[in-house]
Structure 1
């Protein structure tokens, strides 16, 4: 059991924000291990191709392997307060690049030696010693995001926003403490501490510090806590509603992911216009247009002009995808 001791100031300064760096690393690790997300499936060829870049590969050198639990916190800086995902990521990338050499050596050399069952890869050690580690890690994260996630994040962002809205309603109805105790079955609230069921024991006093609660989508269903960077405390928890009763769900994130595009495909058994789809699904017309463009590029919808309107219909490939991505 790991325990975070808090005080009134910490509770007062608790806020919600996604960690796009943490989400990227979760997807990167799946791609490197040829794994599948329990909801979003295969990371896809673009994610795997990005691993060939040396700076992306360097990120992978610092991620834990099976049986290891420690990830250097410098890879996932505390998210800022921007409402725009692009700004959130840019801020995290800038913080990675600004990491001091002392912090790099402490986390990458000392902490991995203590927590891991294996030595740090020689290539990573040499990069640390050269002083180039922060710049290269920042570049690797930016590269992987652009290659593997940027185009499809809008759908995942909607999942994050729904989770945060759900938590906000819970706070309004039952208070902050109740919501802290409802984040996940392995996360508890005792009145003066947050507890996490972990394969290791420990305790940290975070009194007076800001606490960021980060709903995880690609990191779902895992939980994690980071406290190694002075002044930063981030608790990642599984976003609400991921993997629960989604009906037809996509087998991979690229080019299709999440409820929005699956919902559109479900409505396209017969040809429909953007405006009609917006009315049927409740999504804004601009959002529908964005997703339809991605679906068309992927060969999952066809489009034909009918007078003043462009009509969309799902293709045979989409039918196969939907039939193979049902609940289970």
Structure 2
């Protein structure tokens, strides 16, 4: 049993907020390990294509693998107050880039040595020592988000918003203690501590810290405690209804394509130019070019020059993906 001790100050500063950075890292970890999500399936070719970018690969190398039990907290900064118009991901990316060098070295060198079953790569160590790692990690997260998750975020956020609304109702009707104890079957409320059923005994002092409860979709079904950053305490728990056949569409994330890219693939049974596609799907030409580039990197479309035009056409693999999505 793990006990996270809290006080009145902690409870007064308790709030709920999703963490786009944590969702991104969960999806990236599955992508790098060639694994499937228990509910949402394969991360898909667009996510895998991102691993070719050196900053995304660097970010992936700092994620735990089989047998590892630690993710550097600096990769998932505590999300800010959740409200209309707040760019939570942008704020988290800025926090990663601004991370103190001594905190980075403690987490990347010391904590990984304690909690990983593998040594840190020499190239990763050199980047960390150079002082350039923060900027590259921030860029890697922004890149992976843009190419692999941005278009699907509104649907994921809807699930998270529903969970937060449900917890707010529980607090109003039952009190915050009972609401905390109902977040997950392995969690409980002991009056002055949040308890977690674990295979090892321990106590964490979170008194005087902000407590942020972050519902997760792509981290499902895990419960994660983040306490290594001074003054911060984030507890990630699975959002309700994930895996219960409600709250998501089957295959919604399976290919991580999004509406615009799906529309382009559906219209590319025959070769078409960027200008033609923009007119056919009612989208700006620059936006179409951006999505076609991502699809091309993922090998879902081919391109050939025909005089003044570059013509795009979907690949056989893309056709299979479209057929699976229809079934």
Smaller-chain TM-score bracket: 0.7 to 0.9
Question: 2: distance between equivalents of 1:12 and 1:183?
Answer: 18
Equivalent positions of 1:68-147 (< 5 A) are: 68-83=68-83, 87-147=87-147
Answer yes or no: is the 8 Å Cα contact 1:93–1:141 preserved in 2.
yes
Distance 1:123 1:319, change over 3 A: closer
Query: Are 1:171 and 2:138 an aligned pair?
Result: no
Query: How many angstroms apart in 2 are the aligned matches of 1:103 and 1:142?
Result: 21
Aligned to 2:250: 249
- Aligned residue for 1:191, secondary structure, equals coil
What RMSD over aligned residues (CA atoms) do the two structures have, in Å?
Answer: 2.4
Who is 1:185 aligned against?
A: 185
Match of 2:161 in 1: 161
2:325 aligned to which of 321, 325, 328:
321
TM-aligned CA distance change 1:298 to 1:163, over 3 Å: farther
Deviations 1:5-42 (A, max 9, x none): 01112112110001111100000011111111111111
- Where structure 1 has 5 or more consecutive residues not aligned to the other structure, the ranges are 258-290, 301-309, 324-328
Equivalents in 2 of 1:198, 1:214: separation in Å? Answer: 19
Equivalent residue for 2:41?
A: 41
The answer on whether the counterparts of 2:180 and 2:194 sit within 8 Å (CA) in structure 1 is: yes
Secondary structure of residue in 2 paired with 1:42: coil
Tell me the SS of whatever aligns to 1:228: coil
1:235-290 deviation line (CA, Å, top 9, x unaligned): 00000111212386116443468xxxxxxxxxxxxxxxxxxxxxxxxxxxxxxxxx
* SS state at 2:135 partner: helix
- After TM superposition, give the deviation of residue 192 of structure 1 in Å: 0.7
1:296 and 2:263 are equivalent in the alignment: yes
Is 1:214–2:211 an aligned residue pair? no
The one-character-per-residue Cα deviations of 1:102-147 (angstroms, maximum 9, x if unpaired) are: 1011110011111112211111101111111111111111111011
Per-residue CA distance 1:292-320 (angstroms, 9 max, x = gap): x56533539xxxxxxxxx9xxxx998675
Q: Per the alignment, do residues 248 and 119 of structure 1 end up closer, same or farther by CA in structure 2, a change over 3 Å counting?
A: closer
Q: Secondary structure at the match of 1:195?
A: strand
C-alpha separation between the residues in 1 aligned to 2:85 and 2:64?
Answer: 26
TM-score, normalised to structure 1, is 0.79
Match of 1:307 in 2: none
**Unaligned 5+ runs, structure 2:** 268-280, 282-318
The verdict on how the C-alpha distance between 1:84 and 1:218 changes in structure 2, with shifts beyond 3 A counting, is farther
Cα 1:218/1:207, change in 2 over 3 Å: same
